[in-house]
Amino acid sequence: MAKTKIAYFCQSCGYESPKWLGKCPACQQWNTMVEEVLEKPAASVPTWKASPASSVRANKPVQVADITFKEEHRLLTPDKEFNRVLGGGIVAGSLVLIGGEPGIGKSTLMLQLALNMPGIKVLYVSGEESDHQIKMRAERLTQSTPPPPPEGGAFDKRSGNSTPPSGGRGAGDSSCYILTETSTQNIFKQIEELEPDLLVIDSIQTLHSAHVESTPGSVSQVRECTAELLRFAKETSTPVFLIGHITKDGMIAGPKILEHMVDTVLQFEGDRHHVYRILRTIKNRFGSSSELGIYEMLGEGLREVSNPSEILLSQRDEPLSGITISATLEGMRPMLIETQALVSPSPYGTPQRTSTGFDTKRMSMLLAVLEKRCGFRLGAKDVFLNITGGIRVEDPAIDLGLAAAIISSHEDIPIPAKTCFAGEIGLSGEIRAVNRVEQRIAEAQKLGFEQIFISKYNMPSGAKDKNRLDLSRYTIDVKAVGRIEEVFGLLFG
């Protein structure tokens, strides 16, 4: 009998050591090494029916010029928000990881996707719920209004083409199969018999492989199960979706190598006490990594929000101080969001600086610029910032809107409701140019805004300057400013 092999893994980063260590050499964390029993038999590769192309493929070095490139065929789902965050659809053979807090709606999102894929054979593997529980959720999800059919159909893994989808929808006529199993060996046996076009694993922390003698959810089990699914996805060109747990810090549970192994990492965010959910792209090898999709959680499932600017802007009957509208970009999508600020005298010795949805350090920088360059005494004031809608914004173009909201609350003077802002503030008080300002202006004009403040460096400087802004096609009043003092002079006189 072979001798049992024991190794120590870091629960934080997955570092492997033959002996116990008090401090991990990789991530410098203390008391994170856990003992695990390993067993690596000779035939550790799971058996499945691979495609003919993978069986005859030769692993030889090839020059870049000799590589033949074929246009990738993406599987378009009925959910346009889901297609956007994936970069235009599901790529054949891709491995996608979806993380989020408990109860946020990860299983609902993937089950709703599996039920709304007509003509595509989907295998939904659940290690957390029974088939009766999934059936109850499926009946609730199929009571909603059916979405439009997808533009693309199922993959033909051998030819690389797409077949047109067939009609029909619902728990009874959809090609969705449910499997309640946690062993990867049994899962691959069912995959070999069923040959699905799409595989969903709920969740990766519940799977266990017989090749590793440790509990499910451990570092070695998560890494081994993900490696087996990655090998299956690449050799059979079958898209695989993994649902992952997160830690109390909001990071995806398991070793960090899990995020490196997959092709795409999606984060499902939102407050369980609010109806809106955000699907954000963290990593994407097939598209932009800064896209997001917005959903509304209803009793019948998740409904995609096609125009997020309408839900991020509150309807006010009277003007209020400390509220501005900023034009921001999330990936390729322009959005107008409402920014709120509250400035009040500090009743304590140390003033408070609190921000929700915005970087606190950048807020401190804006307050320093307002006090140094504009003369506003904010050192003894409490300042609170809030980005409405529950989203987090990292676009620097929101600086101008936040600064205007802070001064509006400080002076208790409302800003006109039909005014929006798009500009970055520098340390010397200048308004810096932002990228893709044309899309921001067009979005503000579409929503009925009358004027927008932008940087004068986005304006044309001469007849030969073809890379600057052309204002002839806009009806909105564009205010070009160069310094922050000009903005406050135009707003507050």
**Taking a C-beta distance cutoff of 8 angstroms, is the pair 325, 421 a contact?**
yes
Scanning 328-466, the segments in alpha helix (DSSP H) are 360-373, 399-411, 437-446
Q: Are residues 264 and 294 in the same domain?
A: yes
Any binding-site annotation on 189? no
Evaluate whether residue 211 is within a structural domain.
Answer: yes
Q: Are residues 293 and 199 in the same domain?
A: yes
Evaluate whether residue 45 is within a structural domain.
Answer: no
pLDDT digits (tens, 9 = 90+) for 229-265: 999 999 999 999 999 988 777 778 777 888 889 999 9
Low pLDDT (below 50) residues in the chain = 1, 41-45, 49-56, 145-155, 158-172, 462-464, 466
**Taking a C-beta distance cutoff of 8 angstroms, is the pair 283, 259 a contact?**
yes
Q: 432: which 2 tokens?
A: 């810096």
Return the percent helix, strand and coil in the chain, to nearest 5.
25, 25, 45
pTM of the entire structure? 0.75
CA pair distance 143, 115, nearest whole angstrom:
12
Q: Are residues 241 and 376 in the same domain?
A: no
Evaluate whether residue 470 is within a structural domain.
Answer: yes
Q: Are residues 315 and 209 in the same domain?
A: no
Q: Are residues 21 and 141 in the same domain?
A: no
CA pair distance 169, 451, nearest whole angstrom:
46
CB proximity list for 55: less than 8 A, separation 6 or greater: none
Evaluate whether residue 374 is within a structural domain.
Answer: yes
Q: Are residues 292 and 320 in the same domain?
A: no
CA pair distance 125, 132, nearest whole angstrom:
13
Q: Are residues 294 and 316 in the same domain?
A: no
Evaluate whether residue 67 is within a structural domain.
Answer: no
Task: State how many domains the chain has.
Answer: 3
The domain of 179 spans 73-306
Complete DSSP assignment for 238-276: --EEEEE-B-TTSSBSS-THHHHHSSEEEEEE--TTSSE
Q: Among 283, 306, 329, which residue terminates a domain?
A: 306
Q: Are residues 285 and 329 in the same domain?
A: no
Evaluate whether residue 65 is within a structural domain.
Answer: no
Any binding-site annotation on 330? no
Predicted local distance difference test score (pLDDT) of residue 58: 54
Residue 203: asked if its preceding bond is cis (omega within 30°), the reply is yes
CA pair distance 440, 420, nearest whole angstrom:
10
Q: Are residues 294 and 407 in the same domain?
A: no
CA pair distance 361, 354, nearest whole angstrom:
10
Based on its alpha-carbon atoms, the radius of gyration of the chain, rounded to whole angstroms, reads 27
CATH of the domain at 387: 3.30.230.10
CATH of the domain at 215: 3.40.50.300
Q: Are residues 212 and 321 in the same domain?
A: no
Evaluate whether residue 46 is within a structural domain.
Answer: no
Q: Chain centroid to CA 440: how far? A: 21
Evaluate whether residue 85 is within a structural domain.
Answer: yes
Predicted local distance difference test score (pLDDT) of residue 182: 93
Q: Are residues 296 and 403 in the same domain?
A: no
Q: Are residues 124 and 9 in the same domain?
A: no
Predicted local distance difference test score (pLDDT) of residue 161: 45
Any binding-site annotation on 104? yes
Q: Among 269, 287, 306, which residue terminates a domain?
A: 306
Q: Among 258, 286, 306, which residue terminates a domain?
A: 306
Any binding-site annotation on 414? no
Beta bridge partners of 232: none
Any binding-site annotation on 107? yes
